[in-house]
Amino acid sequence: MTDTARGLAAALGGEHVVLDPGVLAAYRHDEAEWAPYGEPLALVRPRGTGQVRELVRYCLEHRIPLVPRGAGTGLSGGANAVDGCVVVSFEAMNAVLEIDREERLAVVQPGVVNDDLRAACAEHGLWYPPDPASSPWSTIGGNVATNAGGMCCAKYGVTRDYVLGLEAVTGRGETVRLGRRTAKGVTGYDLCGLMVGSEGTLGVITEVTVRLRPARQPERTVAGFFDSVVTAGEAVSAVVASGAVPSALELVDRHCLEAVDAWKNMGLSADADVVLLARVDTPGEAGDAEAAGVRDSFAAAGATWAAVSADQREADALFDARRLAYPALERLGPVLTEDVCVPRTVVPEMLARIEKTAAAHDVLIANIAHAGDGNLHPLIITPAGDERARTRAQRAFEVILDDAIALGGTVTGEHGVGLLKKRGMSTELSPPVLDMHRAVKAALDPHGILNPGKVFDGAEAPAS
Ligand SMILES: Cc1cc2nc3c(=O)[nH]c(=O)nc-3n(C[C@H](O)[C@H](O)[C@H](O)COP(=O)(O)OP(=O)(O)OC[C@H]3O[C@@H](n4cnc5c(N)ncnc54)[C@H](O)[C@@H]3O)c2cc1C
């Protein structure tokens, strides 16, 4: 056992510190196949905020990098280990501490799985909306640290819209409570909001208070088949222009449907190159009219087939296929996942540019999208072991980022900067804005021990 490991075990209690290389191997990286990762020194599974504070203080004193980790479903390399780091995992901090029906809020530990929180809320007639497609696995801590989006965000917003308050241990080793429990509150700067989406680089989140909504209304599903992604993109713009606000508007292309079918044998239709899936949860006749309007927008934009589904099971199967698209494609070869977000009016133009980029770089690009948000996930797939294809894919990835910026968009809609979007971030943000980021990092993590190398490069945080 090294001196550092001995010191950690003494500070935290040996049973919470894992050094077994076999176990550590499973904590080296997230789901971003292309992002580099290092070898952790140790894994720590704290049981409470006090232990997290002790851990941060130990790492601060010994200048050991510390990488917070939820379920490791991230798609930007944000939870990837750096050499000699301590990975802190919240598997043992997974309790729903409180659900307050009258105030419509819940207080949770960071390791609670997204679907588990939703199920716990449903028992009280309440609903936690943010629903990343990774909801069966991803944790609230990871969702908050990445400001995760999801399927219903087109109507109900992203994780940030639901975080009222949180507790975190900063890179200074201080435990702070940020935000509030009240419906409104503007005391001081929005430091709670700052922590949301900070990707483990400003603080280790140890507790989260989330806003809840009343239980959701039943939804109708509208499906449309299209013979090109660009036509499907035009249908998205048509739905937005019509004033309809679907509770989901997702795009899945043939590559994804075929990959899911080959894996799960779900009997998915092969009649379309692209499928748009919308959900409408407006109650009563107004909802019927809204669903019919979405169908008509699909048809007017050039759908080869469009209908309000009468078969709930079939509708659910299509949404399940959408959720499974990413892991299904991963079975075909290494996947480089994009996450650009563009104004919804330019979705067709962005999709056309992605097609051109695929052809120009001779790479296979499959498409899934939270199309109603303009949040596109072109998935660049390369044959395993084909280094030339990998290089072409990397170039295509960067072209897509530049195209998104050129169209008034952003390089990451929900997955975060992590390791994969650092070049994109420095292109998108102006030098003064990047300086503001560095100043915030230096204030909260002066020695750069929290998730170093993520979002920023190198020694961006000068020691104070
Ligand atoms: C099949 C699939 C579907 C997906 N669909 C979506 C989607 O629809 N929408 C979406 O937004 N994302 C999606 N993702 C990406 C991913 O699930 C999200 O980014 C999710 O929020 C990550 O949660 P996690 O618990 O796995 O966190 P991890 O991947 O473990 O970590 C993510 C980041 O959060 C930091 N972090 C984790 N816990 C803490 C903590 N307690 N304190 C401080 N920092 C912390 C990590 O350091 C890292 O930077 C998908 C991923 C997959 C594999």
> 123-173: per-residue pLDDT in tens?
999 999 999 999 999 999 999 999 999 999 999 999 999 999 999 999 999
Does the C-beta of 145 come closer than 6 Å to ligand 1?
Answer: yes
Q: What is the pLDDT of residue 271?
A: 76
Does the C-beta of 79 come closer than 6 Å to ligand 1?
Answer: yes
Using the Cα atoms of residue 182, residue 184, residue 187 and residue 192 in order, give the sign of their dihedral.
positive
Q: What is the pLDDT of residue 269?
A: 62
Phi-psi region of 200 (alpha: psi -120 to 50; beta: other; left: phi over 0): left
Q: What is the pLDDT of residue 127?
A: 98
Q: What is the pLDDT of residue 461?
A: 43
pLDDT in tens, 61-78: 999 999 999 999 999 999
Q: Which atom of ligand 1 lies closest to the CA of 416?
A: 19
Q: How far is the CA of 445 from the centre of ligand 1 (A)?
A: 21
Residue 413 has which token pair?
A: 């809609």
Q: Which of 51, 53, 69, when mutated, tests ligand 1's pocket best, judged by the most ligand atoms within 8 Å of its CB?
A: 69
The residue whose CA is least distant from atom 18 of ligand 1 is 74
Residue 154 has which token pair?
A: 């087109």
Q: How far is the CA of 438 from the centre of ligand 1 (A)?
A: 23
Exposed/middle/buried for residue 15 (C-beta within 10 Å: 0-12, 13-18, 19+): exposed
Q: What is the pLDDT of residue 458?
A: 57
Q: What is the pLDDT of residue 311?
A: 84
SS3 79: coil
Q: What is the pLDDT of residue 288?
A: 95
Does the C-beta of 171 come closer than 6 Å to ligand 1?
Answer: no
Does the C-beta of 192 come closer than 6 Å to ligand 1?
Answer: no
Strands lying side by side in the sheet with 66-69: 17-18, 42-44, 86-89, 66-69
Does the C-beta of 200 come closer than 6 Å to ligand 1?
Answer: yes
Spans of the chain below 70 pLDDT? 1, 268-270, 458-464
Does the C-beta of 375 come closer than 6 Å to ligand 1?
Answer: no
Q: What is the pLDDT of residue 265?
A: 80
Contact (CB, 8 A) for 259 and 328:
yes
Q: Which atom of ligand 1 lies closest to the CA of 198?
A: 44
Q: What is the pLDDT of residue 282?
A: 95
Does the C-beta of 146 come closer than 6 Å to ligand 1?
Answer: yes
Does the C-beta of 90 come closer than 6 Å to ligand 1?
Answer: yes
**Cα separation, 235 vs 276, whole angstroms:** 9
Q: Which of 138, 320, 337, when mutated, tests ligand 1's pocket best, judged by the most ligand atoms within 8 Å of its CB?
A: 138
